[in-house]
Structure 1
Amino acid sequence: MSKTILVTGAGSGFGKAAAIGMARNGHDVIATVHVASQVTPLREEARALDLRNLRVERLDLTDPYDIRQAQGFDIDVLWNNAGMGEAGPVFEIPLDLVRRNYEVNVFLPLQLTQGFVRKWIDAQKPAKIVFTSSMGGLFTPANWGVYVSTKHALEAVAEALQQELRPFGIKVQTINPGAFYTGYNETMADAPFRWLDDARHVTKRADLRAEFDRFLQAPDGHLDAREMIERMIEIVPADSGRFRNVVPKATEDMLKAHQLAAWENPI
């Protein structure tokens, strides 16, 4: 059954590829992008692919007028996919960057979601909310703590919403990608070097760079994104499925083992 799906963060990466894929499958997709310069290229790409059911709009979550406009769209599925990440040692990262990461990854998606939820409840309309979380929403590697803590918060928000909204026929899911190669993690790994200063901080730039390089260059640190995109195209419009969707299976197994081991983790 065809759905009308709003995708945030569709200017690149998972969001863009999955938006195109869902439109190809016959869904009406509103692909929203963060900056105005992304609008026309994606509209032209949709025209070149003859995807008349792929509509492109700007949605900067920090702009209240953009949010108000988006909340006026009549949709069946809200996919909160937009996000950003700050990395670096939690004990040294500037707190304004921590607050900004929570604003973009938690507070603003929740604001967008609340507006749609109230509309759906008032209209007695069954609907669905999907959050792009992360493998990092279920464990915390050193030096990625700020970003993954926003995803831990998103996991809690989604789990609460699932219970609260079930009586109204509104479904909630999370998607938890592993370390797929889209450029997102690589860009996040560059972020601390705009503030990290060897003269002021305990953490040294060269040491942190080497640690990030080891993580990103490991075989499970740059997985082929096509697997995740194909699963997103299936998961987002579906009427049934699991609440939490970790991809690939090897990452799911690792996270389950990590969570079990956490019960015996010594100080």
Structure 2
Amino acid sequence: MGKLDGRVAIVTGSSSGIGQAIAERLATEGAKIVIDYVGPSQGAEDTLKAVINAGSEGLVIEADISKVPETQALVEQAWQHFGSADILVNNAGMERKSAFWQTSEQDYDQVLAVNLKGPFFLTQAFVQRLRSAKKPGRVVNISSVHEDMAFPGFATYCASKGGLRMLMRDLAVELGPEGITVNNVAPGAIATPINKGLLADRPKLDALLQKIPLGRLGTAQDVAALVAFLTSDEAAYINGATLTIDGGLSRNYHEQ
């Protein structure tokens, strides 16, 4: 038996990278998976195959979490198809690099919409259905070490992740009495497709690795294992916490 048998998990941005790994790992633990994506569907179909190969069931839904009606439809379709949804992993995220004094309103709006507004209103829709069904649930936000650490050139990203940290803390208090726990997972440097430029730049990569006490980048599977724990009964008393997963980077990091 898996730790998540009988559970249904919505995982946003699960067509690639960390989200894909989370979907596969939760499926391995027995959860049925709602695979959310935007854009080309191939990655989401690959995730679905991985979920099925893990012995579980999946449902692929295209939903842009920055649009509130689409977040509501995502939850509604999950309940219609599986009869429930009691785990939400707010994984979808984005970043835009620019000097603070050159950051455009469009970039600000886009980053904050995906990284903060999306989790806010998707969690709201998720919680509304749980409350009406009088069911407990788990919310895990994939945040970043930059919910706490400065990241020059990425002010919008830092603002969104700092906001996500405070949102998590507030909801942990507000939703705890409803039997719903809310926690953040804060990855550091993870080897994913979004970091292919870094992975190809050996001098830059080596400089980063020197700052990570464990001497390696994290993997998507490292993050997925932590999410699997947080959504299991073993983590039933963890609420309102950020769990950092960065190989010790944030304890040993200095901006150049």
Q: Same fold (TM over 0.5)?
A: yes
| 1:40-94, Cα deviation, whole Å (9 max, x unpaired) | 34334444x2534233322222455532321212211111110111112111121
Worse-matched range after superposition: 62-71 or 146-155 = 62-71
Give the CA deviation at 1:109. 1.8
Name the % identity: 23
Q: Does 1:16 align with 2:20?
A: yes
SS in 1 for 2:89: strand
CA distance in 2, matches of 1:166, 1:36: 37
Worse-matched range after superposition: 233-242 or 96-105 = 233-242
Q: Does 1:83 align with 2:93?
A: yes
Q: 2:242 aligned to 244, 250, 263, which one?
A: 244
CA distance in 1, matches of 2:56, 2:70: 23
Q: Does 1:228 align with 2:226?
A: no
> Measured at CA, do residues 216 and 150 of structure 1 come closer, stay the same or move farther in structure 2, by a change above 3 Å?
farther
> Measured at CA, do residues 19 and 41 of structure 1 come closer, stay the same or move farther in structure 2, by a change above 3 Å?
closer
CA distance in 2, matches of 1:91, 1:186: 27
Root-mean-square deviation over aligned CA pairs: 2.6
| 1:183-212, Cα deviation, whole Å (9 max, x unpaired) | 33557x9xxxxxxxxxxxxxxxxxxxx9xx
Q: Give 5+ residue unaligned stretches, structure 2.
A: none
Q: Which has the larger radius of gyration?
A: 1
Normalization by structure 1: what TM-score?
A: 0.76
SS in 1 for 2:186: strand
Q: What is the number of equivalent residue pairs in this alignment? A: 232
1:61–1:67 contact (8 Å) kept in structure 2:
yes
Normalization by structure 2: what TM-score?
A: 0.79
Q: Give 5+ residue unaligned stretches, structure 1.
A: 190-209, 259-267
Structure 1 residues 126-165: aligned runs within 5 Å: 126-165=136-175
1:134–1:177 contact (8 Å) kept in structure 2:
yes
Q: Does 1:179 align with 2:177?
A: no
- Which residue does 1:37 correspond to in 2? 41
Worse-matched range after superposition: 57-66 or 88-97 = 57-66
